[in-house]
Structure 1
Amino acid sequence: MSKILNEFIELANGVKIPKIGFGTWQIENGDEAYQSVTNALKNGYIHIDSANGYGNEASVGQAIKDSKIPRDQIFVTSKLPSHIKNYEEAKKSFEETLNNFGFDYVDLYLIHAPWPWSNIGSKHDQGNVEAWKAMEEYYKAGKIRAIGVSNFSPSDIQNIIDHCEIVPLVNQIGFWIGRDQEDTLDYCKKHNILVEAYSPLATGKILKNPTIVEISKKYKVTPAQLCIRYCLEKDTIPLPKSTHEDRIIQNSQVNFKISQEDLKVLENLKTN
């Protein structure tokens, strides 16, 4: 079992979050999600990332309960659906998430995106503030241990900071070699907001990149392991996803360091 799965980063409010999470995006509710999460937990993952929009909270929650691992030893994330941009609907959706999981609380709850997925780039500043205020209430009540955002740009986060009480603790963004989102990363570091890296393997699209393949051979690791380690070197929390147990295990075996020289090569790589 990889020791890094039991290493943590402390959020600005003192809550500790495991350095690697298991992502469940695009994993179907039912047997697939249940078995994938079961395999992740069995192999040492204690950080599980889900979302109401993934439609798999019930299976994720069941796998966690059946694992017999104490609830307070597993860090569970979910997300408010991207189209919900008002206070009352945000509260209703969060209650639905708790009910789906069968939990009394979640460890991290995020606004899934600053705009509905059906209208990417549209402006919903007031709606995001309303949703955030509902999340602040649940946070203060102890139903959520940490609150944050996902897919938010610096200006989207600034809107929350300017109009709300609590600064987001996390911003979960698409982040991989060739897509560093440096402006967002710098902004988040400045405001003590932890960045989580979803799709650290770019949904598999960068694993055959010749430079990534060449550097991974140097470290005697797989291209996927190199990509996950890269996210860790950039002070982000990677959320690799797989439905195959052997890859779930491999994705956690990243206890190596990338040299500064190789890191520079990877930082300058254009994979898109």
Structure 2
Amino acid sequence: MDVTEDLSQYPLELTGDDVPMVRFLQVTKRYGSLTVLDHLDLDVVEGEMVTIIGPSGSGKTTVLRTLMTLERINEGVIYVDGKPLTHMERDGKLVPASQKYLRGMRSKISMCFQHFNLFPHMTALENCMEGPVHVLGIPRQKAWERCEELLEMVGMADKRDQYPSRLSGGQQQRVAIARALAMRPKIMLFDEVTSALDPEVIGEVTNVIRRLVSEHSLTMLMVTHQMGFARDIADRVCFFLGGRIEDQGAPEKLFGNPQRKRTQQFLRAVKEAL
């Protein structure tokens, strides 16, 4: 965070009847002289699935990484469930969040990465149980039962005792989704979860995400290059350019009749590359 920023302009807490589950308020993220997010404003309501698309370097993944608190922002405030995520209240003012505060707030969020990140020395079931037992403090028996249910949901119950090296990419990604869900998040983040997969197994993972969208009330943000999947699954699509939202709307509107020239160019280029 920039030391000189005046944080008094931001509310200590979001109140009212229409508080979003996620709010980015004038969020800026820089790496040296490179601005990756540029005074970004973004609201995501509870239960909404928002898909983020755009060219490389437009800030898509940085949105997820700052929301997961993997990256510190330079300006602005991110709110989760009405409370500041990147900051905390002290003596009636907002100050940069401590690590302890971040850990507590981060418990509401889970993220699936494009490269699975499973523990190689643990079975599928053990991978899922690690967080609930050691981070959330859930009793092992209760965690075991919950993780068994989640592996069943993602179609991996029969592989629960297999190590990651014995699983295909699609199977590993499904275990990773079950592991993320085991943390009982309110918000799920998906960062290009199919980009490292062979084309024939992408459907395994997209079908799981489709089921999550249709059967669970999670708030979800997904970065993807799969335009067809984005069109099918999202409540809203945001097209990012230069660290800001260049265009957004319902999938049928943004894909079927994009109004902004840069959106048209991007979608045309994507279509031609297929």
TM over 0.5: no
Q: Which has the higher helix share?
A: 1
TM-score (norm 2): 0.39
Q: Which has the higher strand share?
A: 2
Greater relative contact order (Cα < 8 A, sep 6+): 2
TM-score (norm 1): 0.39
Larger radius of gyration: 2
